[in-house]
Structure 1
């Protein structure tokens, strides 16, 4: 997925605080619960019946989640960076989609990275200890209360949305103390000493800390947590390998059904890839770009409602997000018919050559910008050779003239976010030196808009991007998405084999 030059992302809009208290209580008065605008009364007898007759389902002796050892190390790094300060990291709340329906919940990156937990409304608090260091506590919603009827009357109760872990179960899984999140705002209001909070995920938590925090200090925390993800640990690398493997299978799925996409639209491609993402992972890591024909010249074409025609190119930019939220980010540009036309092949091969140069520049000790510069040079050389740009390649690069058709940066960091480490300082990211464990995309492209009268008519409406996920190793690099072919002849052979 492309990223604008120098762009490293922003927080989304502030989210509403989810209602944490249970609604309804069995007692002297009937319990009422809103449903589609109606408030049916619950009799005392029914409330009493619903309290009892339930088996003990508490799970004991649970094994910690796979990343528990790694999340402890990450929290230790935060503790060392902010000694004596209270650190507050919310998971976020549900966001309203329309009327009374919500978007599927996805935990805030900072929270998921430090805990491995993905539950809504949760808050991680690192309490400074007098003897040094911090005690980490996850504040979570406990299991639905069967005494007050919340488990069957409340819209977020167990019988409505499924069973939550008990706090005791969560402690076993996460490897840290867990408390009821409905107490967290009181705890934070009473807190003394310096506090930092990750903003933009929980308005209620931020309100409780309003007189204790500053925007500048909180921004420093967000920057540090972003930079903490620059070098991936073994768990993260394994997750990205898994995401790339699933993504490759998703691309194979798409190639097998291109005839059906021709009979419908780009949405058939989107739906086909999404099925693989949901079966083998959590979701897609970002909105899939299924851009056929001239739509391939729109960098983030996610409407995916256009026709798929034989003779056109399909630019598919998609990635599976694993169940632990790590995402691949891969692009292939495929001839819908299975064969490139001579002009399509010429443009494709130029982009492939640029990507080869970019990937070769990824190695420990290299400047982060080197892979971009290497890829842009190759594209500029081709544009000059084709007569689309005048003068020397050096002049073209100095003035950035190639960017009319290359448009975007050649890659970005990748991990638990598709544009990972988005709040890192420029000197720690764009101006950094590559280290083993960093994972980045290399994704040059050429885009000739349908209305671009500066190029020959036959070029117009052709867009090509090739993208792979590259791990920096001690010896150089490893292409995590190498299972998918890249050279034009290999792409044709691969497609022919899949389509029989």
Structure 2
């Protein structure tokens, strides 16, 4: 938890950007796994964490935008609960730690919300991604689940996004602290990436390291020699010499700040000549993208810069032909780069996307494309100082996608499908780092993690 004043200042800043009515910020509750008492590890809602800082279930914060008064709704721990959990702070103690002076039982929230609605006051609510919270809110307010969506407040969401997007020095320090754990996870994977090793053993070793240092994963790890499968959570392959192992994984700090790093590893410690060339192309794209970042530069522009470098690098193999600008403009490049360049990162690994991905990543003057590949770009608008973004270009050879486009005759004047036949079993390469936008440019966060060909090969060899 940060200093008490941090949460007071954050709520004050939010109140200045949203006017009239009640702003409701629900925390999360416990979530059952396979039965009621076997709960999944608790994860607090990130906006609740940001403005209220309390990492315990069944709490709701309400800011009265007309009076400036903030109330924390929850319940003191019962004796029955204490028997199972041990001593817990009272609701008043929790509230005091984050500068809230008014508390009320959770059972009072229904009357407060219904009275406000009957009085014609506006209820501002972020979108609810958990069914449990949707059901509770609809019951408290006395409306249907369908009607609940009408209370999603664009003004509140955009204000939350604006405030949360710019990271304080303390937040950056938290991210860099957890990146030290993530670095060791990736070094473990590099050392273990030997012929005969299993993907599952590597995933287990990384996760065990994170847990042993007080962290958990900020998302389900993507570790596979089938790197062309973008979100591959299948970990049952055995590694062989010559394989490429893609490792996209990151730890989450005890305060729930994320990290998100990808490295691609040559199993056994050596890239072959073709792997080296394509790896270097991806690295060139990443380095150029990072170098291009500075306040006011549209992320869309950086994405297209990286895509052009990827295309030019593959021309040496005859995979693309013709004008690179046309390949980018038409979207033909998405055959090998079907995702975006990255996303904002903070308390969420894809920061604030639960609030509305387009409000986070787009905005005035930027409209999301519907084209394959380009539609997956999560961030397009100009970047600002204090933002943390990921930069993660990649090259992938996806047989099903190649076959579909080939059968449809797509972009045949720009793509040599016959040349792609030699790459059907290549897999994929992605390189990703977490980058802070500074006042004058950008800075890769955390201690360096092996990234060049020479560094990765050295870290992989025993």
Residues 1:111 and 2:48 aligned together: yes
Distance in structure 1 (CA, Å) of the matches to 2:260 and 2:237:
22
Q: State the match for 1:494 in structure 2.
A: 459
Task: Work out whether residues 21 and 66 of structure 2, in 8 Å CA contact, stay in contact via their aligned partners in 1.
Answer: no
For the pair 1:441 / 2:369, whether they are aligned, the reply is: no
Does the 8 A contact of 1:330 with 1:481 survive in 2?
no
Deviation, 1:328, is 0.5
1:291 corresponding residue in structure 2: 224
- Taking structure 1 as reference, are residues 282 and 144 closer, same or farther at Cα in structure 2, changes over 3 Å only? farther
1:8 aligns with none
Task: Measure the CA separation in 2 of the matches of 1:299 and 1:176.
Answer: 43
Is the CA contact 1:332–1:465 (under 8 Å) kept in the aligned structure 2?
yes
Question: Paired residue for 2:199?
Answer: 266
How many pairs align?
Answer: 416
Alignment of 1:145-224 (within 5 A): 145=79, 151=80, 157-177=81-101, 178-191=103-116, 192=119, 193-200=121-128, 201=130, 202=133, 203-210=135-142, 215-220=149-154, 221-224=156-159
Closer/same/farther in 2, CA of residues 273 and 352 from structure 1, 3 Å limit: same
Task: Tell me how far 1:388 sits from its aligned partner.
Answer: 0.6
- 2:275 aligned counterpart, secondary structure: helix
How big is the shift at 1:73?
Answer: 1.9
Quick check: 1:243 aligned with 2:178? yes
CA offsets per residue over residues 143-182 of structure 1, 9 Å max, x none?
A: 223xxxxx2xxxxx22224432212331332221343323
Q: Which has the higher helix share?
A: 2
Aligned to 2:413: none
Task: Give me the whole-angstrom Cα distance separating, in 1, the residues matched to 2:92 and 2:228.
Answer: 52
Q: Which residue of 2 aligns with 1:17?
A: none
**Aligned partners of 2:104, 2:269: CA distance in 1, in Å?**
57
Which residue in 1 is equivalent to 2:238? Answer: 307
- Using structure 2 for the length normalisation, give the TM-score: 0.84
Q: Give yes or no for the alignment of 1:372 onto 2:291.
A: no
Q: Is the 8 A contact 2:278 2:314 kept in 1?
A: no
Unaligned runs of 5+ in 2: 365-377, 404-416
Q: Deviations over 1:213-246 (max 9, x none)?
A: 8634523123432333221122221111112221
What CA deviation, in whole Å up to 9, does each residue of 1:301-359 have, x standing for no partner? 01222222222111000011111111001000011201111111111011111111111
Give the Å deviation of 1:368.
Answer: 1.9
CA distance in 2, matches of 1:206, 1:226: 24
Give the gaps of 5 or more residues in structure 1: 1-64, 146-150, 152-156
Contact in 1 for aligned 2:261/2:432 (Cα 8 Å): yes
Cα distance in 1 for partners of 2:63, 2:339 equals 39
Given the alignment of the two structures, is residue 90 of structure 1 paired with residue 21 of structure 2, yes or no? Answer: no
Tell me, what secondary structure is at the counterpart of 1:334? strand
- Aligned mate of 1:352, from 269, 283, 291: 283
Shift of 1:264: 5.3
CA distance in 2, matches of 1:227, 1:421: 10
For residue 430 of structure 2, what is the aligned residue in structure 1? 465
Equivalent position SS for 1:296: coil
CA 96–214 in structure 1, closer or farther in 2 if over 3 Å, else same: closer
Q: Which has the larger displacement, 344-353 or 278-287?
A: 278-287
Structure 1 CA distance for aligned equivalents of residues 142 and 16 of structure 2? 25
The answer to whether the Cα contact below 8 Å between 1:90 and 1:122 also exists between their aligned partners in 2 is yes
Equivalent residue of 2:299, what SS?
A: coil
Report the CA distance shift for 1:141/1:266 in structure 2 as closer, same or farther (over 3 A). farther
Task: Report SS of the residue matched to 1:460.
Answer: coil
Please tell me whether the aligned partners of residues 67 and 116 of structure 1 are also in contact (alpha carbons under 8 angstroms).
no
Answer whether contact 2:18 2:159 (CA < 8 A) is retained. no
Give the match for residue 319 of structure 1. 250
- SS for the counterpart of 2:16 is helix
- CA 1:324–1:393: 2 relative to 1, 3 Å: same
**Deviations along 1:412-466, whole A, 9 cap, x unmatched?**
1111111113225221684432211011011000011356573142552321000
* Counterpart for residue 69 of structure 2: 135
Change in Cα spacing, 1:353 to 1:143, as seen in structure 2 (3 Å) is: same
Asked if the contact 1:443–1:465 (Cα under 8 Å) also holds between the matched residues in 2, the reply is yes
If you compute each CA radius of gyration, which structure gives the higher value, 1 or 2? 1
Deviates most, 421-430 or 248-257? 421-430
The 1:184/1:279 distance shift into structure 2, 3 A limit, reads farther
Determine the C-alpha separation between the residues in 1 that align with 2:169 and 2:107.
35
Looking at structure 2, the residues matched to 419 and 171 of structure 1 have their Cα atoms a distance apart, in angstroms, of 28
1:337 is paired with a residue whose SS is coil
Matches of 2:245 and 2:379 in 1, distance apart?
31
